[in-house]
């Protein structure tokens, strides 16, 4: 293989890899995020920096759709998670102030698991605070 062929292969590979980024797509990976830590009986929310899974997962749309064939779409979800705990301020006596939240260690594209992921199209967002006292 001569130098012109290697150059063409390198160019083709660069265009292929840049294709997703050129369309604004970032592949599935842990990203920094701010979440609201709150409990029903505690008066305020606390913002917490953590890592969540976010990004693009390639999905193929079937050409021929059938009611009998299952349609599955892969989403960016947790592969490995560690949990951290913090104490919420201002909780009344008798209310456990501990708030435990996930920290994404690694992510992958898979079917949505409702027990560990928000699989809705439009969610309220991880930084929404419903506590009557707002953010501390």
CATH code at 112?
Answer: 2.10.90.10
Q: Per-10-residue mean pLDDT for the chain, 136 residues long?
A: 48 43 71 90 89 86 73 84 94 93 93 68 62 63
Task: Identify the domain containing residue 118 by its residue range.
Answer: 25-60+70-126
pLDDT of 18 reads 43
117 belongs to a structural domain: yes
**pLDDT digit string, tens, across residues 44-62:** 889 999 999 989 888 777 7
53 belongs to a structural domain: yes
- How does DSSP assign 75-127, residue by residue? EEEEEEEEEEEEEPTTPPTTS--EEEEEEEEEEEEEE--TTTS---SS---TT
CA distance 16 to 60: 17
pTM, two decimal places: 0.65
75 belongs to a structural domain: yes
């Amino acid at each position: 293989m001569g130098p012109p062929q290697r150059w063409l292969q390198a160019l083709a590979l660069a265009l292929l890899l840049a294709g997703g980024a050129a369309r604004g797509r970032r592949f599935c990976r842990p990203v920094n995020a701010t979440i609201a830590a709150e409990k029903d009986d505690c008066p305020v929310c606390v913002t917490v920096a953590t890592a969540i899974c976010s990004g693009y997962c390639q999905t193929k749309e079937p050409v021929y759709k059938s009611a009998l064939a299952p349609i599955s779409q892969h989403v960016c979800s947790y592969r490995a998670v560690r949990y951290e705990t913090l104490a919420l301020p201002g909780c009344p006596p008798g209310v456990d102030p501990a708030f435990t939240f996930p920290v994404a260690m690694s992510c992958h594209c898979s079917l949505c698991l409702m027990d560990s992921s928000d699989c809705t199209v439009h969610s309220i967002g991880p930084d929404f605070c419903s506590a009557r006292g707002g953010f501390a």
